[in-house]
Chain A
Amino acid sequence: MDRAVSSKGLIRELGALRRAGEAHLRGRPVDELTGILGSVGRRFLDPDDVLRQEALDRLPDVSGISDRMAAAVLDGMALDWTAERLEALLAIEFEDPKVLDGFRDNHAGREVRALGPGLTVHFGAGNVPGVSVTSIIRSLLVKSAVFLRPGSSDGVLPVLFARGLVEEAPEVGSAVGVAHWGTEREDLTLAALAEADHVIVYGGDDTVARLRAVTPPTTRFLAYHHRLSCGLIGRDVLGDTVEAVSVADEAARAASLFDQRGCVSPHLYFVEEGGAVSPGEWTAMLARGMELWAERLPPGPLDPEEAAAVQQARGAFELRVAAGEGAQAWQGGSLSWTVLFEPELRFEPSCMGRVVRVVPVPDLVQVLAALGTVRARLQTVCLEGAGDRTGSLAEGLARMGASRVTTLAEGPWPPPWWHHDGGGPLVSLVRWTDLEL
């Protein structure tokens, strides 16, 4: 956004978005909206489409990721922006998605209606490009006008998506606004928060706390704060080398995608002892996997903070290795990846930058207690090789705060209908009205 923009100008713009939403979203059947959003989403998967081309052109520079990572991220994200996936999302979230169009009999002696907010203001983070587009789509599906202030490194996809919407359905597109400003423009932040019916924030604790503190008390506020994810590797997949290598490759992929910046990115793997392949041997396999994935999906440049953090982690760990505590380290050149074998059972979050810890455990069930320190942040747990203990471990993980227990392959790509940090992605956005007459 132009520095010259005033808070008054922003308030006018937000008013226009709200009116466009009232005029062009409220009365539009949800089926039709799904079709429009899906058509725009699909363009990001079409190699011949200019939207995808421009996205791939600009993402590496703006988001600090490699060309191949940009393509992989876009493929994964945009798949969930297609009509088929959005229809499935609506069907799973609302037994009858037409509650978004009008009152519907819900067979409980009443009719119900789900209404989205008039205007939703999103503050994006930008650690993973595309997350903000998913968030915009969710709000549009519940027929809310949308304004997004993207993170500083996430200006590409939401702007292109908004442009695509204008091309596909100008009236729908007129209910979407995207503009960036820095934290120093608190006047704009305050204005945006004051105008919103619903505020959705992605970001670190400081950002969430700062915005929550200045959001009017009657405005709904939904925060996706920092989260931590991890993997549990049981002895059932460590019975032979072939399977263990394949699991290590999946684990390396999960930790390498998004350069480990995603909330779903594993910070560490707890690996069970007692299989034919020991946790130490598996760690060496993981290290080879990290090297392979550094070639398949090269890491983006680290900023000085990230690089310094990786240097600290590596150097401190080398000293522990030297101290003979059973620690071991593997690392790629140019800080591309780091694997640390850590004999002490505790959850130490990674500094990111593809730094993955492996912690051996005599039995996976012992991991549960170690998750106590991260309970408020635990999100995705990739669980492999637990055999018939899967159910009981999942129950334990749920109680320790995990909102998703999944495979290594699915870990990086939650489906559109996942309970995002524990809440339904669309039902969290609507207000229900019961009609009992």
Chain B
Amino acid sequence: MTESVYSTPMRDRLLELFRRETWAPLPEEEFNDLAMDAFRFQVEKNPVYGRFVEARGGSPGSIDRWTDIPMVPTTAFKRLPLVCGDPASAQAVFRTSGTTSPHARGVHYVLDLDLYHGALLPNFRRHLLPEGGKIRILSLVPDAGLVPESSLGHMMKVVAWAMGDGDGGFFAGEQGLPLSGPFQEALARAVREGTPVLVAGTAFAVRHWLDVARESGFRVVLPPGSRVMETGGFKGRSREVPREGLYRELSDTLGVPISRIVNEYGMTEMCSQFYEPVLVDEPAAAGEGAGGLAGRRHVPPPWVRTQVLDPVTLETLGPGGTGILAHFDLANLGSVCPLVEPRDRNPGAVP
């Protein structure tokens, strides 16, 4: 049997890296070695990607820096299975919500959920439960059973299983709208019991719930230690709200300080996530001191590197440049590691 994503030595090295629990960026050479190994593996296992690399004038023999590896635009996930093996054998199939173009949804075939979970859990814990242990998770992200193709739904299911205290729940319908009644009961119960909670939801769901809460005058002060994970989800929806206002209202309604509201940034085509390090770093280190929320920055885990590229030349831009975001996510070993984002997805928010 030839080497597959399950049998390659790369897999064990990555799983070890995810478990290492050191959060400083990897030394450049170590990252580069891993990235070049992943590149060679993907060129070999994904002939379409291999020919793409060739057409761009590259090959594993001619490239020796990860920054020179040809990158795949996420739009490509809409038309082709980008996978290092048989798409039919994928352990999970995630689809984009199709908000950018309702006619075409990107599809990410995840061959190996161990790699996905391996990258997900320590990074989530680091940024939302850095003190360790378990916590009650009240999710405004729908249960994965309702949205089996949503990577966010899957993520929250796995997180709840690994870090939840068993008394939390999922409080959103299939369309992502909050189930406000049961959610508020769960909040009130946590207050009664004095149990800190982790509230997680998309900005879309949070906004809708806050409207409901405001109308009925619902407010709680959650027990100290509570926290919120907010993630994108406005794009393509009928309404947008400025983040400052949303956080202020959320903070007022839940009694959780804004400094304990963490933005998560992830995308269907990528196994790893970015977070604002507000719970692990001093607020100033997270940029809080300088310009409030505007000064916050996302951080990648050590196995992801992000570059900002000039949109025309694709040259790497220096700090502070605005351009296209390109990520190299080692956890994407089974699909494709080097990704370029479309600009409308994340304008200005440079991790």
Chain A residues at the B interface, C-beta cutoff of 8 Å:
302, 304-305, 307-309, 311-316, 318-324, 334-335, 373
- Are B73 and A315 in contact, CB atoms less than 8 angstroms apart? yes
Judge whether B312 and A302 touch: CB under 8 Å: yes
Q: How far is the CA of A390 from the CA of B24 in the complex (A)?
A: 68
Is there an interface contact between B312 and A319, defined as CB atoms closer than 8 Å? Answer: no
Q: Is A315 within 8 A of B48, CB to CB?
A: no
Chain B residues closer than 8 Å to A313, beta-carbon distance: 75
Q: Cβ of B73 and Cβ of A304 under 8 Å apart?
A: no
Chain A residues with CB below 8 A from B75, complex form: 312-313, 315-316
Nearest CB in chain A to that of B81: its residue: A323
Interface of chain B residues 296 through 344 with chain A (CB within 8 A): 311-314, 322-324, 340, 342-344
Does A322 contact B52, Cβ atoms closer than 8 Å?
Answer: yes
Instruction: Pick the 10 closest A-B CB pairs, nearest first.
Output: A307-B311, A308-B343, A322-B51, A315-B73, A316-B76, A322-B52, A316-B75, A312-B73, A312-B75, A319-B76
Is B55 a contact partner of A321 (Cβ separation < 8 A)? yes
Q: How many B residues have CB within 8 A of the partner chain?
A: 31
Closest to B313 in A: A334
With contact pairs A304-B311, A304-B323, A307-B312 given, residues A312 and B340 touching in the complex (Cβ less than 8 Å): yes
B residues within 8 A CB of A312? 73-75, 340, 342
Question: B342 touches which one: A302, A308, A314, A321 (CB < 8 A)?
Answer: A308
Indicate whether A320 sits within 8 Å of B80 (C-beta atoms), given known contacts A315-B75, A335-B312.
yes
Q: Does B206 contact A (CB under 8 A)?
A: no
Establish whether residues A305 and B78, one from each chain, have CB atoms under 8 Å apart when the complex forms: no
Q: Is the CB of A315 within 8 A of B71?
A: yes
Given pairs A312-B75, A321-B55, 18 additional interface contacts (CB within 8 A): A302-B312, A304-B323, A308-B323, A308-B342, A311-B324, A313-B75, A315-B73, A315-B75, A316-B75, A316-B78, A318-B52, A319-B48, A319-B52, A322-B48, A322-B49, A323-B80, A334-B312, A334-B313
A311 & B314 in contact (Cβ 8 Å cutoff)? yes
A–B pairs, 30, beta carbons within 8 Å: A304-B323, A304-B324, A304-B343, A305-B344, A308-B311, A308-B323, A309-B342, A309-B344, A311-B73, A311-B324, A312-B74, A312-B75, A312-B340, A312-B342, A315-B76, A316-B75, A316-B79, A318-B55, A318-B56, A319-B52, A319-B76, A321-B51, A321-B52, A321-B55, A322-B48, A322-B52, A322-B55, A323-B80, A334-B312, A373-B103
Residue in A302, A321, A323 whose beta carbon sits within 8 Å of that of B311 in the complex: A302
Cα A322 to Cα B50 in complex, Å, equals 8
| Nearest-neighbor residue (CB-CB) of A321 within chain B | B55
Chain A residues with CB under 8 Å of B78's CB are: 316
A319 to B103, CA, bound (A): 19
Complex: chain A residue closest to B74, CB-CB: A312
> Min CB distance, A394 to chain B, in Å?
27
Interchain nearest-CB distance for B245 vs A (Å): 14
Task: Point out the residues of chain B lying under 8 angstroms from A323, CB to CB.
Answer: 48, 51, 80
Distance in angstroms between the alpha carbons of A80 and B74 in the assembled complex = 44
Q: Which residue of B lies closest to A327 (CB)?
A: B79
B197 beta carbon closer than 8 Å to chain A: no
**A316 engages B49 (CB within 8 Å):** no
Closest to A306 in B: B311
Q: Tell me which residues across on chain B come within 8 A of A322, comparing CB atoms.
A: 48-52, 54-55
